[in-house]
Structure 1
Amino acid sequence: MRKAGTLLSVYLAYMLEYRAELFLWALAGALPLILLGVWTEAARGGEFPLSPGEFARYFLMVFLVRQATVVWVVWEFERDVVEGRLSFRLLRPLDPFFDHLAAHTAERLARLPFVVLLTLLFFALFPEARFLPEPGAFLLGLGLTVLAFLLRYTMQYTTALLTFWTERATSVEEVFFLLYLFLSGTIAPLEVFPEPLKSLALLTPFPYLVYLPAALLAGQEVALFPGLWIMLLWGVGFLLLSRLLWRLGLRRYSGQGA
């Protein structure tokens, strides 16, 4: 706990030095708020499983969930390996997995004020998005958001470890990002998907990164099980794979670029 507290305080101070950049990062995740207006207007003139107000609340929650679960570790780790900086991290009695995790957690705390301001702004622009969530569903949604962040972090960290074999692990992550964008519920809630595509998507980890916590936070009725078990299964699978790739990758690492 002492090490965790020290890491968080150091990285929080580091992140606060780049407040303007954090605001731009928060704005960069505003795609759900754009889609909020698109789907809200579409629901007013067509037959959809969600009402305009439900669409508005859902995409607002998607915005908040994505702000809490954004991950960039693959770019950091790739640069560490290519430039030989991983050698210095290996001298510390701390797995880089936890070092990068602390940086991501501190960034969430530093980003929070900007996210709150943007949320209040869009509450003003879209009054139909205002609602009072049920306490139980809200707390469950927050818990699932934390799990979604850990799952996405573990998935991307596993991809980052491919840098030991290829210097462009980010290219693999870009393929995963396309799947994430379309299957996670970021572009559209799963309720509007054709049934075969929805069933297929629910077997992948992507809907549990955005759709499940966002739908719960928005007050929609969703099936928590077996979704939670699938989410945990993918998380354990990627964690075990990352440990295997880490051990195998260290045997190949030669500090190139150092």
Structure 2
Amino acid sequence: MKYILNVAQTLLLTYYAYMVEYRAELFLWALSGSLPFILMGIWIKASQTGNIELSAIEFAHYFLSAFIVRQFNVVWVIYEFEKEVIQGKLSPKLLQPIDPVWHHFISHISERFARLPFILGLILLFFALYPQSFWVPSLGQFLLFLFVVILAFILRFIIQYTFALFSFWIERASAIEQIWYLPYIFLSGIIAPLDVFPPLIREFALWTPFPYLVYFPASILVGFPVDIFRSLFMMFLWGTLFFILNRWLWKQGLKQYSGMGA
């Protein structure tokens, strides 16, 4: 156990130092996730002119929360893993006593800590521009949000890493992520909270993994009514399914990779 903790600490500090070297790039990455702010203006205007249940303040709270969630669950492992397989850089990592996935997972966690000051700065800027939208969630809401957003990141990571394993068979596994991104944008709650969706579409979305990546944690932070137990069960269900598929693809992929001469 002590060995595992020492390895995790070493990797965390190493990747954190690596991430901090690219502060300007981190700032641009944080800004690239500002799509919810753009959509917020559209929905606030719609709430003032149309027959929509949510108020302008509720839309502001939701899209700020969606922005925060997206900052914590952004994942890019498929692009790194794809490059490692194509360029043969995976081979040295296979000789190490730990699964290569931990390099990617811990680098993502390190990036969260390096990104945190930029996130806080953008949140303060948001409240400075929209002071009427300032609110403080309760301690229970905040702690539940932290727990759920961690689960959302893990689920997002497992899903994308599973897609990344197709790099053993195809050269551009990232194309799978690009196809996946389309329903993700529309059904995850990025473009709008599911509360404004037609009931049939909303119910369909709740059976997919998408709402639990953004809408569910964001709704907890702002206090929207959500079925917490069902949502946690769906996250566990989808996470388990993708994890099983992930481990099977990993075993089969290693056979394919070694068969190519690695």
From 27, 30, 33, give the equivalent of 1:29: 33
Mapping for residues 220-235 of structure 1, pairs under 5 Å: 220-235=224-239
The 8 Å contact of residues 12 and 103 in structure 1, kept in 2 or not, is answered as yes
Mapping for residues 2-21 of structure 1, pairs under 5 Å: 2-21=6-25
In structure 2, the gaps of 5 or more residues are none
Is 2:229 aligned against 1:193? no
Is 2:74 aligned against 1:70? yes
- Which residue of structure 1 lines up, in the alignment, with residue 140 of structure 2? 136
Instruction: Work out the percentage of aligned pairs sharing the same amino acid.
Output: 55
Is 2:167 aligned against 1:157? no
Return the alpha-carbon distance in structure 2 between the equivalents of residues 179 and 92 of structure 1.
Answer: 37
From 74, 78, 96, give the equivalent of 1:92: 96
Is 2:216 aligned against 1:215? no
- What value does the CA root-mean-square deviation take over the aligned residues? 1.3
Instruction: Give the length in aligned residue pairs.
Output: 258
- Which residue of structure 1 lines up, in the alignment, with residue 207 of structure 2? 203
Normalised by the size of structure 1, how large is the TM-score?
0.97
Q: CA deviation at 1:48?
A: 1.0
In structure 1, the gaps of 5 or more residues are none
Q: CA deviation at 1:129?
A: 2.4
Mapping for residues 169-180 of structure 1, pairs under 5 Å: 169-180=173-184
- The amino acid across from 1:239 in the alignment is F
Q: Secondary structure at the match of 2:249?
A: helix
* CA shift digits 1:49-95 (9 cap, x unpaired): 21110000000000000000000000000000000000011111111
Check 1:88–1:123 CA distance in 2 against 1; reply closer, same or farther (3 A cut): same
Deviation beyond 2 Å, 4+ runs, structure 1: 254-258
From 31, 50, 54, give the equivalent of 1:50: 54
Return the alpha-carbon distance in structure 2 between the equivalents of residues 96 and 55 of structure 1.
Answer: 41
* CA shift digits 1:203-253 (9 cap, x unpaired): 000000000000101122211121110111100111111111000000000
Q: Secondary structure at the match of 2:229?
A: coil
Check 1:243–1:123 CA distance in 2 against 1; reply closer, same or farther (3 A cut): same
Normalised by the size of structure 2, how large is the TM-score?
0.96
Return the alpha-carbon distance in structure 1 between the equivalents of residues 179 and 71 of structure 2.
Answer: 21
Q: CA deviation at 1:127?
A: 2.1
Q: Secondary structure at the match of 1:225?
A: helix
Check 1:127–1:79 CA distance in 2 against 1; reply closer, same or farther (3 A cut): same
Q: CA deviation at 1:254?
A: 4.1
Check 1:255–1:61 CA distance in 2 against 1; reply closer, same or farther (3 A cut): farther
- Which residue of structure 1 lines up, in the alignment, with residue 172 of structure 2? 168
